[in-house]
Amino acid sequence: MTQNGPPDAATDRTYDRRSILTGAGSIAVGGLIGSSGVATATPSREPGPKRDEIIVGISPSTADVAGEARAAIPGDADVVHANESIHYAVVSFPSDAPAHARDEFIDAITSSPAIEYAEPNVTIESLLEPDDPYYDHQHAPQQIDCESAWETTRGSEDVVISVVDQGIQYDHPALEAVVDDRIGEDFIDNDGDPYPAHGAEHGTHVGGIAAGGTDDGTGHAGVSDCSLLSVRALNENGVGSLSDIADAIQWSADAGADIINLSLGVDGSYDTLTSACEYAADRGVLLVGAAGNDGDNRVYSPAAEDTVVAVSAVESDDSIASFSNTGSAIELAAPGSRIISSVTGDDYLQMSGTSMAAPVVSGVAGLALSAYPDLSRTELREHLRATAVGVGLADDEQGYGRVDAGAAVETDPFSDSSDGADNQESPGECGDETITASASDTLDGSGWWGDSDRYSYSLHTDDPCSITVSLEGPSSGDFDLYVSTDGRSPTRWDHDEAASGSGTSGSITLSLDGGEAFGLQVHANSGSGEYTLRLEEHGR
């Protein structure tokens, strides 16, 4: 279908803010969503990125997160925020304290039996590479074959994509028809109105790529016409705190989002972000993250999390974008260079970055879920992988391939591929086809809580029938092995099978009906050193 070309960039970017949110916050708009589990922050706490704050992870068995944190901290620190759903509290630290005092504080507080971890409340930023503000035409929808997908569906309003970002201009002419009735939530000013600050264009651009105005004679064409939630967690400079991002992810999951787009990132791994992403994934949400824009062989968090689809950026000719990060965590590639979309002030611009590639995948996921609403999170993720197109890039650049909207919508994930089975040979014995995998790392179980690593594994045999996961730990150690059979990351409290307290070794064997994806956790209760995890998959 032919799309109208977007107008030239306007020079006057002033606009009126539409006052449509009322009451104590957007949770009350359009009907109650339910308790957010996020405690009110200290009134004097500054919005946006936080300095001199430490996030303290509290045991899930603790009923009062803030109270437990207060009991563990010394008198010169204060609990300024708590999240009861993903079990953490934020503690302020005196700004004039020396660096060694912060380290000593973390060592001291983690000695409490109820404290799982302590880490700085780091700053997370948007992953955008600015580009020429003028443009001639769009290429991303054509490149991923949206036209074929749109013949079947342009996206259902029942499919909700939450954009955790700077906020979306929800009265933008290209977007107002697809914004969810509840609008969203604000974690920067905490005023319930997730409208972006003047000039904060990133969130509106990202939202407009995932959804907005397909074939409506206005501006650009988004990948889908699914519903958008505007969740403001980055300020006008495109940065936000770890705690705000975690709260925004948790809120989106509780609000019923089907897909959460995370066009933001930070170098490194943080337990608070891991917990937030696991919380959403455990509630059936597909999370999509931008890989990063350093052009390096590393993937930023949260994209690097096992629960998140990591997306790299390609050019219009499907070559890898020079700015795109790569790495073994890359799952899908998508157009991310010179992408045209909506921005604040009722305008349109070209922007580049893995920030732009991620919402292309989110939009395609929305189209696929609109066409096949019974897909689970794991099935949707597998379907996007299975219908991606290899474009000749290395695995650490494209993952399973460049996302393809046409194939994702036109390929039935539930089709019976056994047509003509009467003419096929009868299935062989379980074990005729064997695939093995292994991983090794080092864990330290000498602390009171121990140490854990998590892995994910998708089945590869044509007709899987059993799987055995075995663990060999260092001598004098005590290691646990936990397994989940639906792809989610298992924990000590939430798993399907376990071999726990088995000393230096453990093994789990499961019979399969086919199609499962596995999550694995190795936990060291005592002892330290290198362990080896081995997986043997059997098929017929």
Distance of CA 216 to the CA centre of its chain: 30
Instruction: Reduce the DSSP state of residue 158 to 3 states and report it.
Output: coil
3-state secondary structure 448-514: CCCEEEEEEEECCCCCEEEEEEEEECCCCCEEEEEEECECCCCCCCCCCEEECCCCCEEEEEEECCC
Q: Which of 112, 156, 165, 193 is catalytic?
A: 165
Contact 263, 197 (CB under 8 A): no
For residues 176 and 182, give the distance between their C-alpha atoms in angstroms, rounded to a whole number: 12
Q: Which are the contacts of 246, defined by CB distance < 8 A and separation ≥ 6?
A: 83, 86, 88, 272, 273, 275, 276
Any catalytic annotation for residue 341?
no
Which strand (E) or helix (H) includes residue 261? strand 259-262
For residues 153 and 150, give the distance between their C-alpha atoms in angstroms, rounded to a whole number: 5
Q: Which amino acid is at 349?
A: L
C-beta neighbour count of 480 within 10 angstroms: 22
Q: Which of 202, 205, 383, 495 is catalytic?
A: 202
Instruction: Reduce the DSSP state of residue 254 to 3 states and report it.
Output: helix
Half-sphere exposure of residue 455: CA atoms within 13 angstroms, side-chain side: 20
For residues 495 and 201, give the distance between their C-alpha atoms in angstroms, rounded to a whole number: 41
For residues 368 and 411, give the distance between their C-alpha atoms in angstroms, rounded to a whole number: 9
Any catalytic annotation for residue 224?
no
DSSP letters of 364-414?
HHHHHHHH-TT--HHHHHHHHHHT-B--S--HHHHTT-B--HHHHHHS-TT
Q: Which are the contacts of 165, defined by CB distance < 8 A and separation ≥ 6?
A: 126, 202, 203, 206, 207, 231, 232, 233, 234, 261, 263, 264
Q: Which amino acid is at 43?
A: P
Any catalytic annotation for residue 355?
yes
Burial 299-338 (b: 16+ CB within 10 A, else e): bbbbbbbbbbbbbbbbbeebebbebbbbbebbbbbbbbbb
Handedness of CA 113, 40, 258, 242 (dihedral sign): negative
3-state secondary structure 401-424: CECCHHHHHHCCCCCCCCCCHHHC
Active site residues: 165, 202, 355
